[in-house]
Structure 1
Amino acid sequence: MVLAPLVIDSIYSYASMRDGEKLLIVALTVWRIVHGQIWISVSRYLTAKGAKRIVNKSIEFDQVDRERTWDDQVIFNSLVIYLLKLYVLGTNTLPFWRLDGMALVVLLHVGPVEFIYYWCGNFERTRYWEVGTEQNDMECVIRMKRKGQWIVLRRKFHIT
């Protein structure tokens, strides 16, 4: 429903002016949604039918994956790209694909972006952030079946 104006305008632009770039935005959005749904379905299937299950009972998928709103990012990115193409001057003359631009993106990703990402991640996991918080308190929950009934054992402990 959110992308309906984008789809209608893209079809109209292609039919009237042969502007295929807006239609390409729609096609890439559909591809990203289908691709994401396939991966989520495969991972849920492997989790539900896998041989490494501890408890032989049904699984709530809220416990399996916490990314229930993964498609919001795809829709948001598509709308941003579409609005940039529509309202920012000069975007009609930009090529949709250039090999030198792709090489630059790969070099930036492999070089400083990965270094900064991992450095920030390591800094985030240091003791500096844990001062004054209760993040070191953990709880272990064990579910087991004894004499036909499920029992839950809980144990709290502190990591130093």
Structure 2
Amino acid sequence: MGAALLASWPWDNLGFYKYVLYGPLVGKAVASRAWEAASPDRWILLLLLLFGLRALTYQLWSSFSNMLFATRRRRVVRDGVDFDQIDKEWDWDNFLILHALMAAAALCAFPSLRHLPAWDGRGFAVALVAHAAATEPLSYLAHRALHGSSGRLYARYHSLHHSSRVPQPFTAGLATPLEHVALGALMSLPLAAARAAGCASVALAFAYVLAFDSLRAMGHCNVEVVPASLFRAIPALRYVLYTPTYVPRDSPHQEGGQLLSLHAAVRSAGWHNRPTLVGHAEEDERRYTRRLVLCPWSMTGHQTTYIGLTHFSFNNLTS
């Protein structure tokens, strides 16, 4: 795998010290006092804040998915995460460093991007259209190529993502640099479209990127948060949203798939077919039924303290 282009991270040997790659941005922000409103480098502070929030998004979804007291009935894969998978996904946030460097390079190459307004509502409509018209179809084609019949790209690149047995939010970050470069480029298309239309804003960048990350983390969290009844009530939602139930079905033997949240192209191609939707409903029913099953054993209450024992009626023992 190491011989393939962009198949391994260039800072693998740095370990925890990989975060020094943020150093130039942090140093520039401090030197220019980027927290001041009049600072010309305020964009650096916003960029660092955005990527901090991205990391927090995945961490919160990971914490939620591991709250077994709240999620055990809705887990898709019943198995637990083993230490091998934890070690494999330890550097899940490598792609955040890569995307931060890509974003910084874009902002340096196009200085006009540093002076976006805080809000422009028109940009959200443009970004949504661009996402559905460009980002989703291209991501579908890219993912289909990774699952191609030759298996070459899968073996060199995409097999890493599928090597995790139990999906977790951090699994979304387990991929090769080449895949994350492509992902970053796909994420930039709606923002670039909004900029070309003259309606990009800081709020749009934050909202789109964080929504993108939240949906990816939710899709990999191994906890089904969307009931099948919602899909039955709103059938069109099947073409708009994918949920954790469908992620484990994205096996190495399937050619379909998607990187993002919308997947009308995948649905129309027949990858998410009726049996999958029926399986979602059956899984929902199984979870509900399990709640109604009574415990086959019971524990008789008994006193465990000295005060309790002194008030216990021993006549009950002879009855």
Length-normalised TM-score, structure 1: 0.55
Residue in 2 aligned with 1:36?
58
Matched, 1:76 2:85: no
1:73-109: CA deviations, max 9, x gaps? 1111112222332354544455575433332221021
What's the counterpart of residue 86 of structure 1? 108
1:8 aligns with 2:13: no
Quick check: 2:43–2:114 contact (8 Å CA) kept in 1?
no
Alignment counterpart, residue 102 of structure 1, candidates 124, 130, 153: 124
CA separation in 2, counterparts of 1:67 and 1:121? 21
Q: Deviations over 1:13-47 (max 9, x none)?
A: 22675232211111111111112122223324449
**Which residue number corresponds to residue 39 of structure 2?**
18
Moved more, 58-67 or 100-109: 58-67
Which runs of no fewer than 5 residues in structure 1 stay unpaired? Answer: 132-158
Letter in 1 for 2:104: Y
* Distance (whole Å) between structure 1 residues aligned to residue 145 and residue 35 of structure 2: 52
Superposed CA RMSD: 4.0
Query: What's the counterpart of residue 172 of structure 2?
Result: none
The number of aligned residues is 128
Q: Per the alignment, do residues 67 and 103 of structure 1 end up closer, same or farther by CA in structure 2, a change over 3 Å counting? A: farther
Q: What is the DSSP-based 3-state SS (H/G/I as helix, E as strand, rest coil) of the residue aligned with 1:129?
A: coil
Render the CA deviation track for 1:104-147: whole Å, top value 9, x for unaligned: 2210212343345446656876xx7169xxxxxxxxxxxxxxxx
Cross-structure match for 1:27: 49
Which one has a larger percent strand, Structure 1 or Structure 2?
1
Where does structure 2 lack aligned partners over 5 or more consecutive residues? 1-19, 152-252, 254-319
Name the amino acid aligned to 1:18.
S
